[in-house]
Chains A and B, each alone.
Chain A
Amino acid sequence: MRKCKFCGKETGIFLREHRLALCEDCYPGWIEKQVDRTIKKFNMLNKDDRLLVAVSGGKDSLSLWQILKKLGYNVSGLYIDLGIKHNNYSELSKEKVINFSKKIDSSFYIISLKDEGLDSIDRISKIYRKTCSACGAIKRYYMNKISVKEGFNVIATGHNMDDEVTTLFGNLIQWDESYLDRQFPVMPSGDGFAKKVKPLVFISEKQSAMYALTTGIDYIMDECPYSKHATSISYKENLNMLESKHPGILRFFLNNFFNSKSKKGLQIEGSKLEIKECKICGAPTYLDICKVCKIKENINR
Chain B
Amino acid sequence: MTILYNKKEINIDNPKSVIDIINILKVIPNTVIVLKNGKIVELNERVNPEDKIEVIKVISGG
Q: What residues of chain A have their CB less than 8 Å away from a CB belonging to chain B? A: 2, 11-14, 24, 58-59, 132, 135-136, 162, 166, 204-206, 208-210, 213-214, 221, 223-224, 226-227, 230, 232-233, 236-237, 240-241, 243-244
Q: Are A224 and B29 in contact (CB under 8 A)?
A: no
A210 and B33 in contact, given A12-B40, A59-B58 (Cβ under 8 angstroms): yes
Query: Does B24 belong to the interface (CB within 8 Å)?
Result: no
Nearest residue (CB) in B for A14 is B42
Q: How large is the interface on B (under 10, 10 to 19, 20 to 34, 35 or more residues)?
A: 20 to 34
Q: Which residues of the other chain, A, contact B62 by a CB distance below 8 angstroms?
A: 132, 135-136, 224, 226-227, 230, 232
Q: Are A13 and B40 in contact (CB under 8 A)?
A: yes
Bound: A182/B61 CA distance, A? 20
Nearest residue (CB) in A for B32 is A206
> B55 to nearest A CB, angstroms?
11
A206 and B33 in contact, given A12-B42, A24-B39 (Cβ under 8 angstroms): yes
Nearest residue (CB) in A for B45 is A12
Nearest residue (CB) in A for B30 is A240
* A-B interface, 3 closest residue pairs, ranked by CB to CB distance from nearest: A12-B41, A227-B62, A233-B61
Q: Which residues of the other chain, A, contact B6 by a CB distance below 8 angstroms?
A: 221
Nearest residue (CB) in A for B41 is A12
Nearest residue (CB) in A for B40 is A12
Q: Which residues of the other chain, B, contact A214 by a CB distance below 8 angstroms?
A: 40
Bound: A260/B54 CA distance, A? 41
Report B14-34 residues with CB < 8 Å from chain A CB: 28-33
Q: Are A209 and B61 in contact (CB under 8 A)?
A: no
Q: Which single member of B35, B39, B58 contacts A205 (CB below 8 Å)?
A: B58
Query: Does B56 belong to the interface (CB within 8 Å)?
Result: yes
Nearest residue (CB) in B for A247 is B30
Q: What residues of chain B have their CB less than 8 Å away from a CB belonging to chain A? A: 6-7, 28-33, 35-36, 39-42, 45, 56-62
Q: Are A244 and B60 in contact (CB under 8 A)?
A: no
Bound: A223/B57 CA distance, A? 10
Bound: A214/B33 CA distance, A? 12
Q: Are B30 and A206 in contact (CB under 8 A)?
A: yes
A241 and B40 in contact, given A221-B56, A230-B61 (Cβ under 8 angstroms): no
Q: Are A237 and B42 in contact (CB under 8 A)?
A: no
Q: Are A240 and B45 in contact (CB under 8 A)?
A: no
Q: Are B28 and A210 in contact (CB under 8 A)?
A: no
Bound: A148/B7 CA distance, A? 40
Bound: A230/B58 CA distance, A? 15
> A20 to nearest B CB, angstroms?
13
Q: Which residues of the other chain, A, contact B31 by a CB distance below 8 angstroms?
A: 205-206, 236-237, 240
Most buried by B among A59, A135, A236: A236
Q: Are A240 and B59 in contact (CB under 8 A)?
A: yes
Q: Are A244 and B7 in contact (CB under 8 A)?
A: no
Most buried by A among B28, B32, B40, B61: B61
Q: Which single member of A11, A13, A210, A227 contacts B60 (CB below 8 Å)?
A: A227
Bound: A133/B3 CA distance, A? 36
Bound: A24/B33 CA distance, A? 13
Q: Are A227 and B30 in contact (CB under 8 A)?
A: no
Most buried by A among B6, B28, B30, B33: B30
